[in-house]
Amino acid sequence: MKPFLILQSIFFLLLTLIMTATTSAFGADLGLIKPSTLTQDNTWIILDCRPEKNYDQGHLPGALPFSWEKLTATDKDGVKYRITPPNELAAILGNMGISEKSKIVFYGDTDSSWGGEGWGAWVFTWLGHQGPIRILEGGIQAWAKVGLPVEKNRPKEVQATTYLVSLKPEADVTVQQLVDHGDQYTLIDVRSTLEWLRGHLPNAIHISWGKFYQGADRAPLSRVQLQKLLADHGVNLNKPVVYYCTGGIRSGYTWMAHELSGLGTAINFEGGTEAWDKHRP
């Protein structure tokens, strides 16, 4: 092979690696993984982020259920959709055979999952996960499109382990932080237009979460596409971008798309408008 062709091959290999994996602002090894790549490595722990009824109708072989509906609850202040506390999450993950160094793949359908695959990636980033975190590119739709199998049986009992949390509180933001330092952030409301019209956080920009994915497989936007979307809405990327929705799920997906793009720091306001409405002064 001629030297030029060798250099060209190396360039495209490096470009592929850059596009499929990135180090997030919080130190997480975050990226996309194609179905064909996932089938070649059985060391990944696969988490299905759709509702459990969808999981039971057919899921990737060996996948474990990881629905946000099972991992959020109304807190003592009446705020809905609050995430399970870190120590309890660690116990749940340990019982699933997941440690802080496990190789994790999230998938959903960006429909019934409400973007839970992105929320899952955010949760593990927030917990300080040390192993690689991947999102199945195109979700279960892409998996099915290439004729790969699904199964209905739940995996047999796994060997429990310990999950050690190294919490990254900076991946989240509180109501008080937004009240005291709101001008230090760019706020993006990713709820529907109707939800937006009913009320939103001061100075927020509205971009529905459905604009952050594309195509029949509902894959996240590329860096160039996302950069254009944000520019078209006047988003200032010189400040950390805070994504929010009702309770952090849809905004978790948009956080993921932003982090994958490498366009600067993004934060998921996990409490969302539920927390804002309860705790704002």
Percent of the chain with pLDDT over 70: 91
pLDDT of res. 21: 60
Asked if 112 contacts 51 with a C-beta cutoff of 8 angstroms, the reply is: yes
Alpha carbons 213 and 126: distance in angstroms, whole number: 23
Query: Per-residue pLDDT for 9 more than 50?
Result: no
Threshold 0.85, pTM exceeds? yes
pLDDT of res. 156: 84
Alpha carbons 221 and 9: distance in angstroms, whole number: 25
Mean pLDDT lowest among 19-28, 105-114, 199-208, 227-236: 19-28
Query: Per-residue pLDDT for 16 more than 50?
Result: no
Query: Per-residue pLDDT for 244 more than 50?
Result: yes
Burial of 262 (0-12, 13-18, 19+ CB in 10 A): middle
Q: How far is CA 95 from the centre of its chain?
A: 22
pLDDT of res. 157: 83
Supply the angle between the helices 250-261 and 223-232 in degrees, to the nearest 10. Answer: 120
Q: Which helix (H) or strand (E) holds 195?
A: helix 193-197
Residue ranges of domains in the chain, CATH in brackets: 22-145 (3.40.250.10), 169-279 (3.40.250.10)
Supply the angle between the helices 116-127 and 250-261 in degrees, to the nearest 10. Answer: 70
